[in-house]
Structures are given as structure tokens and as C-alpha cells.
Structure 1
Amino acid sequence: MIRPRAFRLRPEMSLLLGGLARIDILNLSGYEKQYDWLKVFVFASQNLPVMIADTLKAEAVYKRYLGTPFLGIPSASGDLEVRLKRWPGLQCKDQDIVVSNNNSNSGGNEARLNCDITLSSAGWLGLLLPDNSECSLRVWTPHSAGIYVRRPALIPLADRLVGKHIRNSLAYNTTKPFVFKK
């Protein structure tokens, strides 16, 4: 079962999903003011670690921790050194992805994810932008494969599936999965 993990990211931050994907938040701006945070939902195996770094240091962090428990890559029961030598690394798409939210939630409507970004076979990300804002981001996967924007989001009300924001952290609590009673 995949449970979403949620994080607050600001511009010039990068989210690394295991050794399989990297997402750089390049810009987040509103039509009326500059916004600070974007909420990112990670829909992937709980065995894939998530690491957040400054975008300027993301490449160095990736190289340093690739193959460690902090930033692992899928490996069979073989030699990790051989696997790392054959690993292609991450490449980004030629064009940055721009996502906008033209909604105004002043009517009390529940927040809905603006879109999903698929990450090859690693999973996908859901993006929740502030009202009347626009975000540009750069996505990296091996051979820049499998990167697509999905609108509408597959689970638009994913915000219901995470807990409260953890104080002094970029993460939100995860909740127990919802189970229907018979």
C-alpha cells in the first residue's frame, strides 16, 4: 500500500527520492505577491528514502550519498559497487515544467492537488500550490525517462491523507491508512 508523504518546499530546494529522482523547485510566484512554500506529496514505496537539500548543493549531495542507506538505489543481492558503476545517474528534461493554480479557495472549498508528475516506475509526486500562484520546476530521472505531467491529479484530495505539519520540520505526519469497515 502506498501512503503519501508530504513536504513543504520553497524555491531553490530539491527533493531527492532515493537515487531514482530529483525535483528542483526553481521558482514560486503569485500574481499578487511572492509565495514561500509549495506542498509536495510523494507517492512511492516507503522503502525509498526522501532527502531534501538546497538546489545548489543537490548534485554534491547526490554523489556523496548515492548507494548509502540515505540515498539508495534498487539493488539485487549482487555487488553494490558493480551496480553503481553501471548506474546512469540522473538527467533532467530539456524543458522546465511550469504549473499554475488559478483557483481562489476563499469560498471554503477543500484544497485539491494541481497536478501529478510521474517519475518513471519510481512513483509520482502531487503538487499543491498556493492560490493564484505559478511554479517552475526541473525534474531529473535516469536518462530523463518517464517524466510526465498528469492533470487532473490521480488523488486530488491527498491533503486529507496526511497529518499535521511537524514543527521545525519540512515534513508532515503520515496517517494510518483508511480502511472501510464491513
Structure 2
Amino acid sequence: MKQFPPLVPQEFSLEGGGYLQAAADITLSSAGWVAVTAAAGDQLLLRVHGPAGVVYSLRTPPLLPHLVALKGERIRKSPAYRTVGGASRGGGGLALQGKQKKKRA
């Protein structure tokens, strides 16, 4: 990690088109892409951090706009089943997670 280059931010802004349709893709140089969804009409400012010289770009329209609707059922008791709430949810998930830790102790 001492030899890893410093990370440089790149910012992208876009408008959400609904949770069942990707608004855009962020392409990751030689690695693939990430489809971005948001509520219809929401203005997003995304910041991607990567090593200098690595190119990230915004692809609009997205390559597969309805790909986000093709997902399987959530598997109970798996690490991905329970999500932690972010700033938009008021941190409710974080408080809930804290309560679980108290019960186990």
C-alpha cells in the first residue's frame, strides 16, 4: 500500500430516471461499468476516486438501462441481505445495527 499511487477524484452529475431504470453508467477503465439509479428527477453528484491516469467516464444512455430490474431474491442471513442506511435515510440502518450489537453482548 505504501507504493500505491494517490487517488484523484473525478466528478459526474446526472439526473435520476427512476429505480427500475439506470440513469447512466460510470465506466471503469478496462474493468467494466457501474449502472447508477436514482429517483426520477433527483439531481446526483457522483465522485469517483482512482489513481491518476485512470479514465472514468459517464455513459449516457446506459448500455443496459433495465438491467437493474433483473435481480434475484435476497438470501436471508447473508451479508448482502441487510443494508445499512445512508445519509438519505437518516442513518436509521446504523442505529438498528447498533441495537443488534447490544443484544448480542
Does the CA contact (< 8 Å) of 1:90 and 1:144 recur in 2?
A: no
Corresponding residue to 1:142 among 46, 51, 63: 51
Corresponding residue to 2:12 among 76, 97, 113: 97
Q: Which amino acid aligns with 2:13?
A: V
Paired residues in the alignment total 79
Q: What residue number does 1:158 align with?
A: 67
Does the CA contact (< 8 Å) of 2:21 and 2:69 recur in 1?
A: no
What SS does the corresponding residue of 2:72 show, helix, strand or coil? strand
Q: Which runs of 5+ in 2 are unaligned?
A: 75-79, 85-105
Does the CA contact (< 8 Å) of 2:20 and 2:69 recur in 1?
A: no
Aligned identity (percent) is 28
Does the CA contact (< 8 Å) of 1:118 and 1:125 recur in 2?
A: yes
Does the CA contact (< 8 Å) of 1:119 and 1:141 recur in 2?
A: no
For the pair 1:128 / 2:49, whether they are aligned, the reply is no
Tell me the TM-score normalised to structure 2 length: 0.61
Q: What residue number does 1:116 align with?
A: 25
RMSD: 2.4
Corresponding residue to 1:168 among 72, 77, 82: 82
How far did 1:124 drift?
A: 1.4
Does the CA contact (< 8 Å) of 1:120 and 1:141 recur in 2?
A: no
Corresponding residue to 2:5 among 88, 100, 113: 88
How far did 1:144 drift?
A: 5.3
Distance 1:144 1:168 in 2: 36
Change (3 A) 1:129 1:164: farther
Distance 1:99 1:111 in 2: 16
Q: Which has the higher strand share?
A: 1
Q: Which runs of 5+ in 1 are unaligned?
A: 1-83, 171-182
Tell me the TM-score normalised to structure 1 length: 0.38
